[in-house]
Every structure is written in C-alpha cells, then in structure tokens.
Amino acid sequence: MQYVIPPPPQAAIPVAGEESQAFPVRRIWCVGRNYAEHAREMGHDPNREPPFFFSKPADTLVPSGTTLPFPSLTKDLHHEIELVVAIGIGGSDIPAETALEHVWGYGVGLDMTRRDLQTEAKKLQRPWEPGKSFDASCPVSPLVPASRIGHPGRGAIWVKVNGEVKQSGDLAQQIWNVAECIAHLSRSVALAPGDLILTGTPAGVGSVKPGDRLEGHVEGVGDLTITYDAAASLQRVV
C-alpha cells in the first residue's frame, strides 16, 4: 500500500537529558477543573464530582523554548499550567491501585485556552475544540521517566508571565490524583502507549498578550518556557 499524500509526521516530545530519545505521542487528554480553587474561579462548585475529560490533537504539541505566533480568533488567550502524565502501558478499566504502573513519565505542560471562544461554546452548548484544540495549544517540556523521579504526588506547580507568578499551587491539591485520573479515563476510552494526560490547573488562570514570556515549573519534574511573538511562524514538535 502506498500513501496518496505524504503521511503526517509522528508527534513526539524529547526525553529530558537524553538527546537521542523521544516519546511518541498518540492522544492528548486533559482533565477539567481538577483543583478546587480553579473550579471556584471558573464559577463551579468544587465538590468531588467525577472528573471529566476533553482532548487536543497530538499535532497541537510544541516544544519548550519555542517562540509562538499569537493564535487567531481570540482576544483572551489564557495560560493553564499542568502536570503532564505520559502513558507507557495501555489498558481499559485500570484500577487506581495499579494505575501508576501504566505511567512512563512526567512533564510540564500548558493547556493554552482561547477563553473567549470556550466561554461562548459553553454558553451555546457547543463543543470546546475552538477554545482548546487550536494550533500550538499544547506546549510541553521534555519528559522525565518515572524510573528516574518516581511518581510526584505533591510539589509546587507554578507559572510566571514576564517573571511574575500568576498561578501557584501544589500537586497535592488535585481533586483527583494521577492514579484516579487514569482509572476514570480508562473506563471511558482504552489508553495506549503514547497517550498524554494533562491533569488540570491550579487557580490564577489569566490572559497572555503578544510579547509575553511564560515560564512553567513543576517541582521535581521540570521547566517549560514559551514566548509569544505576533511575528513568529508556527513550529511543531516532530
């Protein structure tokens, strides 16, 4: 069989500290409202309802250190700093007790959001894709294997915009921890090697403007830097 057009490149993320190794990405899942303070700031009750998930295509990934053009259609681009979980072993109906055995490693990600489009979609009961799944909407740091750092259940998570801390929290504040997120998601869809899960964002989401520099950090996991420049051209992770 011969492809009739060039096949799309395999999305991948570099492995931290290993120049010749990369983690190939299949699907990107994101957890909604997984920190109580963020649920409150978005106008929702932070009670422990089951987690919900949305997705971004793998080709929305961009690597740390990238300068990105400002996205189209939005006047309210928001940063959401998140712990990224990289699935190494797939499965369905995974019990929370053994879920961490499915994790290959971790990274630092930004669930960039065109908040004005997401808000409009919520109001009109339309899908979230225009707000969440646009080009270059998923910057992710190099991934670090769990075999090196273990499974972080607590530790600082923050993002600075132009040097000023905008979001700051602790992984221990997650309403659903990593194992529980995997358990819930794997009841909805079969997970497979290469899947990523962005595990929600702490309070303090806010606007990003052209020219802004974002620095994200998760304690014990890594760092991520992204700059927006209206004159930049789009780059992808390959």
| CB 163, min distance to Mn ion, A | 23
| DSSP H or E run through 144 | strand 144-145
Q: Between 59 and 111, name the residue whose CB sits nearer to Mn ion.
A: 111
Q: Between 42 and 232, name the residue whose CB sits nearer to Mn ion.
A: 42
**Strand, coil or helix: what is 85?**
strand
Tokens 């194992």 belong to residue: 179
Q: Between 6 and 43, name the residue whose CB sits nearer to Mn ion.
A: 43
Tokens 């990405």 belong to residue: 25
| CB 38, min distance to Mn ion, A | 8
| CB 76, min distance to Mn ion, A | 15
Query: Which residues here bind Mn ion, judged by CB under 5 A?
Result: 80, 111, 201
Q: Between 15 and 112, name the residue whose CB sits nearer to Mn ion.
A: 112
- Locate 158 and state its tokens: 């923050």
CA angle 139, 109, 18 (to 5 degrees): 80
Buried-state track 159-184, b at ≥16 Cβ within 10 A, e below 16: bbbeeeebbebebebbbbbbbbbbbb
Query: For the chain, how far is it from start to end, CA to CA, in angstroms?
Result: 24
CB 207 within 8 A of CB 216: no
Our CA dihedral for 137, 142, 148, 149, rounded to 10 degrees, sits at: -40
| CB 82, min distance to Mn ion, A | 6
Chain centre distance of CA 158: 14
Q: Between 145 and 169, name the residue whose CB sits nearer to Mn ion.
A: 169
Q: Between 15 and 84, name the residue whose CB sits nearer to Mn ion.
A: 84
Tokens 């915009």 belong to residue: 161
**N residues, the chain:** 238
CB 110 within 8 A of CB 81: yes
The residue at minimum Cβ distance from Mn ion is 111
| CB 180, min distance to Mn ion, A | 17
| CB 204, min distance to Mn ion, A | 12
| CB 230, min distance to Mn ion, A | 24
Q: Between 14 and 202, name the residue whose CB sits nearer to Mn ion.
A: 202
